[in-house]
């Protein structure tokens, strides 16, 4: 039997609704023939909302019954919108570490014509620090709000939460270039040590369930083992580069 769906979505000169496009794509992937009704003006959209007593578009109808918006359509097909989920997960930080590790291997191969374990590790830690700093700096206020809930120094000196991403970025770049190591290495050791102690206290002693600000203040990454490892790696790399 052919499956038919009616989709009403906003497509104007100023705005194309992304959830309308996603709804259309999802219906097509599920084998539906879609009657795609494009609401081309704000008045047309408002009129549709009034007629069907809905607050948003897109809206999907299957077998004459209204399914609803994109989230409702996902639920209809037994799926969940990952963007709308508050469930904690490690996806953002794993994505960053996977790419930075790939870059570390590439840099080692580029500069030494082979994969040298020590240089690869140095690049990996330093590039990861730099990229994580970018994540924090893109919304410094949001990062600060989350960071000071568990960082021991941040709780006492709130301004430290605004300085931390800059220190992390400078230390990461310095470690990559091997420049100013007498400054950047102690800086990495300091923030890494404070961070590690803070995570141990918050997670393993106080047993608090918190979100980590390591990839920015809007993430659902749980504070725990990954965060502790990140801080310890900064400390290890800072000490190692000073000794070498």
Q: What is the DSSP string of 191-210?
A: HHHHHHHHHIIIIIIS----
190: exposed, middle or buried (Cβ count in 10 Å: 0-12, 13-18, 19+): middle
Distance CA 183, CA 170 (A): 10
Q: Has residue 157 got a pLDDT over 60?
A: yes
Domains and CATH numbers, the chain: 3-84 (3.40.30.10), 91-243 (no CATH)
Quick check: helix, strand or coil at residue 36?
Answer: strand
* pLDDT bucket at 221, cuts 50 / 70 / 90: confident
- What is the mean pLDDT of the segment spanning 156-181? 96
- What is the mean pLDDT of the segment spanning 114-120? 92
Distance CA 208, CA 223 (A): 9
Q: Has residue 212 got a pLDDT over 80?
A: yes
Q: In the 8-state DSSP scheme, what is residue 211?
A: B
Phi, psi (rounded to 5 degrees) for 149: -80, -15
Distance CA 69, CA 67 (A): 7
pLDDT of residue 81: 66
- What is the mean pLDDT of the segment spanning 77-85? 69
Q: What is the pLDDT of residues 82-103, one digit of tens each?
A: 555 556 778 888 999 999 999 9
pLDDT of residue 84: 53
Q: Has residue 240 got a pLDDT over 60?
A: yes
Distance CA 240, CA 76 (A): 54
- What is the mean pLDDT of the segment spanning 101-118? 93
% pLDDT > 70, the chain? 95
Distance CA 131, CA 215 (A): 9
Q: Has residue 232 got a pLDDT over 60?
A: yes
Residue that the structure tokens 């020590």 belong to: 118
Report which of residues 86 and 36 the model is more confident about.
Answer: 36
- Residues 5 and 35: beta-carbon distance below 8 Å: yes
Mean pLDDT of the chain: 92
- Residues 242 and 181: beta-carbon distance below 8 Å: yes
* pLDDT bucket at 63, cuts 50 / 70 / 90: confident
Q: What is the pLDDT of residues 182-197, one digit of tens each?
A: 999 999 999 999 999 9
Q: pTM of the entire structure?
A: 0.79
pLDDT of residue 73: 94
């Amino acid at each position: 039997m052919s499956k038919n769906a009616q989709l009403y979505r906003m497509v104007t000169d100023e705005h194309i609704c992304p959830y309308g496009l996603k709804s259309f794509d999802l219906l097509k992937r599920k084998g539906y023939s879609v009657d795609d009704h494009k609401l081309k003006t704000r008045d047309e959209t408002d009129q549709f909302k009034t007629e069907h007593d809905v607050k948003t578009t897109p809206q999907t109808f299957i077998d004459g019954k209204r399914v609803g918006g994109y989230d409702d359509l996902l639920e209809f097909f037994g799926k969940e919108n990952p963007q709308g989920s508050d469930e904690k997960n490690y996806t953002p930080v794993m994505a960053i570490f996977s790419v930075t590790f790939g870059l570390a291997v590439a840099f080692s191969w580029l500069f030494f014509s082979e994969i040298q374990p020590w240089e690869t590790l140095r690049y990996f830690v330093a590039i990861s620090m730099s990229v994580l700093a970018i994540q924090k700096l893109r919304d410094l206020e949001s990062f600060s709000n989350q960071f000071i809930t568990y960082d021991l120094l941040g709780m006492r000196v709130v301004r430290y939460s605004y300085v931390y991403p800059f220190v992390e970025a400078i230390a990461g770049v310095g470690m990559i270039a091997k420049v100013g190591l007498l400054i950047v290495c102690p800086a990495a050791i300091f923030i890494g040590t404070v961070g590690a102690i803070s995570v141990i206290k918050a997670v393993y002693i106080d047993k608090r369930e918190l979100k980590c600000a390591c990839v920015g203040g809007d993430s659902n990454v749980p504070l725990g083992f990954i965060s502790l490892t990140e801080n310890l790696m900064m400390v290890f790399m800072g000490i190692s580069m000073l000794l070498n």
